[in-house]
Structure 1
Amino acid sequence: IEACTLTKDGKKIPNYISAALFSEEGRQYIAGIGIDISERKKAEKALVESEEKFRNLFETTVQGIIYIDAKGDVVSANAAAAEILGASEKEILSNNIYNHWNVIDENGSEITNEEFPMVKSLRTGKTITNVILGVYNYKEERYRWLNVSSSARFRAGEKKPFQVYVTLEDITEQKKAEHALRDSEEKYRTMFDTMTQGVIYVNEKGQITSANDAAEKISGISSAEAKGKTIAELNVKAVHEDGSDFPVETRPVQVALRTGTQIKNKVMAILNRKEKRYRWVKVTAIPKFRAGEDKPFQVYATAEDITEEKEAEREQAKLSAVVETTPDFAGLADENARAIYVNKAGRKMTGISETGDITKYKIFDFHPRWAAEKVQKEGIPEAIEKGSWSGETAILDREGKITPVLQVILSHKNPDGSIAYFSTIAHDISERKKAEKAQARLTAILEATPDLVGIADENANAIYLNEAGRQMTGKSLEEDITKYKIPDFHPKWAAKKVVEEGLPEAIKKGIWKDETALLAPDGKEIPVSQVIIAHKREDGSIEYLSTIMRDISERKKAEKSIEEERAFASTLINGLREGFAVIDKDGTQILVNDELTKMTGFSKKELLNQKPPFKYWAKEGMAQM
């Protein structure tokens, strides 16, 4: 029996007492043995307390705990295991690990019972740790992700485990977070790789840690080449908007890294290493800080490629410069024809100062009344319908001066077909109008002259023949004379003379003059005095030819009559039996008859065009003569 004994000081000592009855010499005795069991009692108490603590831990831990015997039967499971597996403790205890459990690995592939950690531990006696499995929870109808560890337990002296201790750590939320993080990273990576903006990350040493495809496209440097290097090491050349060099230490990334301040929308041009040309970018650099630190550990920089925008600006600037320097009126108006822009030449033409507000005018206000009506009734409607209109109008300045112009109006439309704005260009044709008037006067003169006046191109193809020329050659005013060449208006002998003498000499010397003939409609020849002039370009090549032909029929008749009279007189004079000579008022001998040549023995050639004293005068009578 167990009982307590008291010490002298009253302390109770637990004892294990045994008693036995025996006889000795006729007398009966009781022998008793008392064993101090204080230490055993302490150990028993500690064991109870330990078991209580273990039970509390077993029941309250968030980790699932299962004990499996050598047969694979579950002999113990805590509430956490029941909650994780979606079954009651009773259901778990009636289960065997070799029964079918719906378990998958991290890749989503189903695994067999033999691959379970607890089965491996039971079979091999080894401890298996941190195996990630998805176990289907039938109550929740979803998989719970678990970190499973199993440890074999042995009895003293035995090599085969009698039990396996299994822990189930529910990491479902952790897995969700990992998946969310992975999805987020994938989204970030997709965005990072597909952004049209170039993006780079630079560490505290200025080394590039990451760069996307757009950054490579802008710089012409691959992300593999850039990684781990500084911008200075990569020798990336850059310039300011004014074309001056942009030192590395003053660029946005370096300034943000050095000062910890954001640099936004800095425009610069970067030399693309592959394309061998500059690309314009708008750079923003943002420093990143760790908690409690005032020095950035990283800079995130974006580069927006604005090359096309810059080139468009340059083209716009060139166009603006052209528009501003052109002598023509150039203007823009809104969809209601209200002026929104007039160039320098236009302001000068209209008498509006360079600072004057042109938005108070409409297109029509820049014209005299007749031209304004033409623009309003013809120009604007046709420009709206067909996209453009052109015609002759006039510009009216503030002092009433009118300038004749050739005007073009264009309508610029929105995608839906509505009018966005109008543009107009008006070219001053004052000089042309003067030239046209002069040309009209000259044409009137040419058409009124009785002489033939014609113009031909550099190949002698007729392009103009005045009215007198058409009458002389029998060509009606309606007939197309461009089918003729200059020689076609002449008889053969005259045509040959024009082709072989006239045209070559006119081309060589600029002008040729001679007598030729025109071919009349009836086939008769009209004698003419002809001039051919070659008109040349600045380079000396022939631009066109002109000719004037005067009818000399009457002159020819008069000359013939005179010739006939001279022949008759010559016959009479040569019939005289006396010597005969004619001397003009200057004393030149202009005529001698045959009898005088016979008398003197001198030929007519020797006597004509001589002045006194004549060869046939004798010295004795010279003074008298």
Structure 2
Amino acid sequence: MEKKQINILLVGTRTETIKQSIQIENCSIFTKRPFAGGIKLIKKISPDVVVLKIKSAERKTLIMIDTLLKINPELIIIIVPEIYKIEKYLKFISAGAEDCVYLKDIHTLNQKILFALSRRQNTIHVMCKNSHDKYNLINNNIKDVIWIMNPDLKFIYLSPSVKNLRGFTAEEMMHQKFEELFIPESLKSVKKVINDFFNNLNKGIISKESFKFEVEQPHKNGTTVPVEVIVTPVFNENNNFKYFLGVARDISERKLKEAEIIRAKEDFKLLIENQNDLIVKLDPEFNITFASPQYCKAFNINEEEILGKQYTPLIHPDDLDSAIKSMGNLLKPPYKIIHTERMLTPEGWVWFQWSDKAIVDKKGIIKEIISVGRNIHHQKLSDDKVKQSERKFSNLIQNLPGMVYSCQNIQDWTMEIVSNGCLDLTGYTPDELQKDTVVSYNDIIHPDDRSYVWNAVQESLKNHQHFELKYRIITKQGKEKWVWERGSFAYRTEDKKDILEGFIFDITDKVKAEKALIESEKQFRFLSENADDLIYIYEFVPEPRFKYVSPSATKITGYTPEEHYADPQLGFKLIHPDDVHILQDASNGLYNSQPIVLRWKKKDGTIIWTEQRNVSLYDENGNLIALQGIARDITERKLAEEKIRESEEKYRLIFSTVNDALILMDLRGNIIDCNKKTAEFYGGDINEMIGTQFIQLGIIPQEISNEITKKFKKALLLKEMKFEFS
């Protein structure tokens, strides 16, 4: 790999000696007098290293360091005169300089620059390598399909998970034509979206927003798969379109659930329109807000005559007291009563059973009363069946998540009926939302989405289709939510109002997750394509095999991923005979997530050391079904450890047998180690001497001890490795 050009800037006067001391390959050296040319000249040079020679002006030096930091060099080194004390030295380090060098030690400058650059590059390398490993692990385990398609609508990348989605491998998909990706019905809608995008692009209209659609795609086995596709157009810095970035997800399970919701909605609608029960809704003042057709028919009245008024059919005198008592119980917890009485109808006195429920807010204030009655004149003794039917109806409404609604097809979407779920969804109670009492539903829709919602619904109604859309709302508390709505035309009233019925569900968490997924895919793709470690998945059922082996296997073992796939036992054949038992234990679930060290025999016969981590996967019965693992080559580390061990043994042999007194001290003068001769010389015990300061051994006169202390501190200050005393 070609070495990077290094730019070094020398700032100061008389820098010839400094320039001569720098002997670094592939570098350019620039010189500049202090404060000459300003920051623009320095930015133009774009130095990797700045060497600043100063005289004695501490304040100007700190200003210069702050100025240099704004151009972000790799490091700054200060050349200081010998008169500087350690306190000023440390101030420059704290201000952002990498190091300080005394002028008389200029010969060490070259080494300091190389060491600092190497240390920073190694840190960056380790950080990048860790990111690559994580990315590769995610890419080969995600279920969604990530793809990139060029402006000619041809794939230039497909993640391996496409095989799970459609049965085709990524390589097979690369050769498919765009028209082969969808069934005819889906192809038509997809082409419209793509054509609209390119038409707008040709008109200079640039939209970087993602668009989403649901399609049916053919599977290799001849079936079709419902797929949700999120497509993001990607542009370069000049706003030129580069490619489409897409994520495809199997929504078969979700489609089944949606079908269940549709059936439930249709059942609900059918229940309301065809049941024989009498339904009436009252406000807290007992004014009727809704009366079902059956109710009006039973008592021979028109709904318009009683809406907004108090109306009670004539109750038989013998049942009046119990009816009044029951209504009194309705006004207190649990705000629900069941009562039976005779009422006067055109057919005479008829037995009705009523189930009344008061809807209360969190403070216990009654907001609405719903009363459902049934003619039980001939089934008065069938109480159990009546209760069961009422309970089924009530639970259907109360337990559905989201909001079931019936509204007018006008700009305000005036709600005629909403379920209690509207409170959790919008923050508004049914009373506040119905009839635009406090707010219209259009006011709740996000301003930027109102036109979209209106146009989408009208287009569907025009084509006699149900509508399905996703958009944002603003709740009563000011919180933004994403919702999914499905609905259709229901009926037209006598006064020619078109009524829509539908269901609205909170999908905020799902939308956030989808956006996070798009962002994570960028990191995921980068990691998977640059991993150095060997990443693998080994399955035990239905039969042992490598499910996945990363491309780095070739570099580490000499065997390609394809050779691993062809031979399920290749992983065991690579292991050194003395280490096979370790791998067998790991295959049985031991060492889960713990590192194990094994010797491998490469294809060329060489032996390498590796470190592996395996994660065991079990089925619901606790049986081991697969291993996911990462392995890396640690041969160099093992060789280095062996050299360190040998060096330590040699050091200990010399340290213990030499006839001179040897003492090892830290930078504060504390004794770290000493040999037997030292203990004999000072008449002490080795264990007692370790940890004490050398000058505190008590055998050196105070004046000599003070002199030794001065020399030791001076050596530390000047970073000298040797000083003498007697």
Q: Normalised by the shorter chain, which TM-score bucket?
A: 0.3 to 0.5
TM-score by length of 2: 0.37
Greater radius of gyration (CA):
1
Decide which structure has greater helix share: 2
The structure with the largest strand share of the pair is: 1
Answer 1 or 2: higher relative contact order, Cα 8 Å, separation at least 6: 2
